[in-house]
A and B are shown apart, each in its own frame.
Chain A
Amino acid sequence: MINQADTLFVLLSAAFVMLMTPGLAFFYGGMVRRKNILSVLMQCFVALCLLSLQWILFGYSLSFAPGSGFWGGLSWFGLNGVGTAPYAGYSATIPHEAFMVFQMMFAVITPALIIGAFAERMKFSAFLVFTLLWATFVYDPLCHWVWGEGGWLRNLGVMDFAGGIVVHTSAGVAALVTTIVIGKRKNLEHTPSPHNLPFVVLGTALLWFGWYGFNAGSALAVNGIAVNAFVVTNTAAAAAGLSWALLEWIRNGKPTVFGIVTGSIAGLATVTPASGFVSPISAIIIGIAASIVCFIAVAVTKPRFGYDDSLDAFGVHGVGGILGTLLTGVLASKVINPAGANGLFYGNPKQLLIQLIGVAVAAGYTFLATFAIYKLVDIFFRMRVSEKDELVGLDLTQHRERAYTILE
């Protein structure tokens, strides 16, 4: 039976999550140098266009059609059979198409997250091909394993409420792979400072706002779980933002706005898999843990290994997603969500093991498949722009336009 309130909630959540991609565009766009901002905005927007179409043509079918344990198959190709009648396997109270479009927005933002790793140096044509292949051969299968009917990780009991594995771990690991193989940016004695920090703050605000749709909407109904997800999402973001600022204060002497927004995003990414299974108090623990671990990843690990993850897509999303998935195995409680499972702290150490397997499998698969796709595209298109193009900036060399005028 279709429920109007549930339908409206899922549609609205889909709109919220759609807004996260422009939000991410500004979050990333403000961080790059002035000569490259449009290339980042362009990549995010093109991802929105391209993957919306990929999803209705075959992405949704590969991910969610009840095929084998490993892929969904093509039985829902072109939304064939996906209509306004509910599909009880996923959600019995809303039209099947509403579920499809909600999931579409996840499929759009995940590849967009990777942009942070190779920003300021990837050729646009190569980006397009890479993104399409990555969505098809990494995101769609992974999504099927964890969320699709019959998916083998789902059957194993892996808990991922709103995409800690599917979205953040996969995008983060892909970011790490691409940033290593594409190499550092030129002339990088010191990291360039963000060219427009207010844009970063604007982007964070839109992301935080949209994340309510991302996490609470994943309940797919207006119920207590949605409310709980809403509350823990906000709590974790707040705890993480605050603790990041404190860490900076202690370590560098001054808290920064760049730090507080980075922390908030880390908190949001980390609480994503847990949001339907943990209590608000657990969310505070998750938020603080997110800041500490991601701060170490960004401020200590990255300089030590010397990879140039330009905008910390791995350091924030990858590390946050992995941490969140594991913490779900620790802090999940059946009191919050009877359909879930208890975690380590609630007397079920097995769940942590399952979560660990889920993350390890996802990270391993993503690592290998991303590397293969990268190399393939590199052979045909060359991923990296020429040195001169990089110095002149991608806006002018890839798109022949400029973000700002000087005099008029």
Chain B
Amino acid sequence: MNSGDTAWVLISSALVLLMTPGLAFFYGGMVRRKNVLSVLMQCFIIMCVLSIQWVLIGYSLSFHPGNGFWGGLKWMGLNGVGLEPYADYAGTIPHQAFMAFQMMFAIITPALIIGAFAERMKFSAFLIFTLLWATFVYDPLCHWVWGMGGWLRNLGALDFAGGTVVHINAGIAALVTAIVLGKRANLDKNIPTPHNMPFVVLGTGLLWFGWFGFNAGSALAANGLAVNAFVVTNTAAAAAGLSWALIEWMRNGKPTIFGVCSGAVAGLVAITPAAGYVNVVSALIIGFLVSMICFIAVTVIKPLFGYDDSLDAFGVHCVGGMWGALATGLFASKLVNPAGSDGLFFGNPKQFLVQLAAVLVTVAYTSVVTFIIYKLVDVFVGVRVDEKTEAMGLDLTQHRERAYTVLE
């Protein structure tokens, strides 16, 4: 056991936890004033619900070395998950520290989906949907990619900090729910604008800060690999934020803060799977290109198909995550991480195909199961709020409270 490594993983867990409130402000600033509390509420309740789900069954389903497809229930209620290190995941820190670190990932992933169905989902339905989704989509996928014996892991798919497990996964679920839930009312007449842009910026700042724990913490030790992940994370975010602003400048005439924030988050998403395998120059390229790709997804593809992904959970997280996962297959280098493998540009085209396979499997599994869960919840509780409720806003109708006062 190493005290430096343990401290690093615990602090990283705290940093990743802070990302969920960060996400709450990032999303909350974007919705209309009458719905901001519903978004904050969804993010916060996820912190509560999934923390409990994780210690009861989630961690066991995800990380217990069961078979290739699920972890089983042997570690239910953290039975057998103690303070001794578990060498297959991390040999120098207590097993529970690893568990806590992974918990924060399990929390933020379903929270990402909120962006797709914001402003129109019933709160009770949201709770059930989230719990089922975490159990039947996140946990299995997490096992496949990161769990001992997981079949995608055995295939050799590289995912340093969660490109497939977190971002593609949440992003595809977002697309599915946005499509089946349908558009918000009156959307063709006026597109709602972010009601509090400074909140979006605050959320971005907290996300960027927390992402250091997300990526550099995934090294699970305070070593050179963590330093590399830290540096490439910052670099990709900076490159993507800047290039999104430049694209806007050229296309719309003005660079916006909303653009810089969107770009920075896209860059952070894209570098996530690659953070432990690529060098700084590759991070620059990954960052610069992800803005272009996500910008097209958000401004061209979304209007073309007409789905209402309210806050671009699909357009930023899934598209950015896919680019990151594939880019890992292009730019990975054993010089950075001897435990990884080389990518296409370093003479190993097979890695690119493995990455592609992992992406396709995730897309297929997540879309099918998310659809089933959605329909199931819809039958029993009804997912969407009625028209009047939507017009009045979810804050007042779902939670009977309001974000701001008028006069005093």
Contacts and interface: CB of A to CB of B under 8 A. Distances in A.
B234 A41 contact: no
A11 interface: yes
Interface stretch (B138-146, B169-177, B188-196, B308-316): B188-196
A399 B255 CA distance: 5
Nearest to B197: A403
B242 A14 contact: no
Nearest to A98: B227
A247 interface: no
Interface stretch (A43-51, A184-192, A317-325): A43-51
Contact of A408 (B195, B204, B237, B254): B195
A47 to B, nearest CB: 10
Chain B interface residue number, banded: 35 or more
Nearest to A38: B257
A159 interface: no
Interface string B192-216: 1111111001101110110011001
B242 A53 contact: yes
Contact of B4 (A8, A56, A100): A8
Given A29-B198, A45-B241, A400 B234 contact: no
B223 A2 contact: yes
B228 interface: yes
A101 interface: yes
Given A5-B3, A38-B197, A101-B230, A18 B253 contact: no
Contact of B227 (A3, A50, A84, A405): A84
B227 A11 contact: yes
Contacts of A18: 208-209, 212, 234
Contacts of B241: 45-46, 48-49
A7 B227 contact: yes
A402 B260 contact: no
Nearest to B205: A22
B260 A42 contact: yes
B257 A49 contact: no
Interface in B1-26: 2-5, 7-8, 11, 15
A15 interface: yes
Interface in A352-408: 398-405, 407-408
B235 interface: yes
A126 interface: no
B230 A403 contact: no
B377 interface: no
A399 B235 contact: no
B260 A49 contact: yes
Nearest to A10: B227
Nearest to B249: A125
B291 to A, nearest CB: 11
A46 B201 contact: no
Contacts of B260: 42, 45-46, 49
B264 interface: yes
B235 A405 contact: no
A49 B237 contact: yes
SS class of chain A's interface: helix, strand, loop or mixed? helix
B55 interface: no
A25 B7 contact: no
A124 B280 contact: no
B226 A400 contact: no
Contacts of A23: 205
Interface string A66-79: 00000000000011
A104 to B, nearest CB: 7
A26 B230 contact: no
A26 B200 CA distance: 12
Contacts of A98: 227, 230
Nearest to B283: A56
Nearest to B209: A19
A50 B258 CA distance: 16
Contacts of B284: 53, 56
B308 to A, nearest CB: 16
Nearest to B8: A8
A5 B4 contact: yes
Contacts of A41: 197-198, 201, 257
A232 B3 CA distance: 26
B22 to A, nearest CB: 10
B197 A402 contact: yes
B261 interface: yes
A7 B231 CA distance: 13
A37 B202 CA distance: 13
Given A2-B224, A6-B4, 12 more contacts: A5-B7, A11-B222, A15-B209, A15-B213, A38-B198, A46-B241, A56-B284, A84-B227, A124-B255, A206-B205, A401-B257, A405-B195
18 contacts: A11-B8, A11-B230, A19-B205, A22-B201, A42-B256, A46-B242, A49-B237, A49-B260, A49-B264, A52-B237, A56-B231, A78-B280, A94-B227, A101-B231, A402-B193, A402-B197, A403-B198, A408-B32
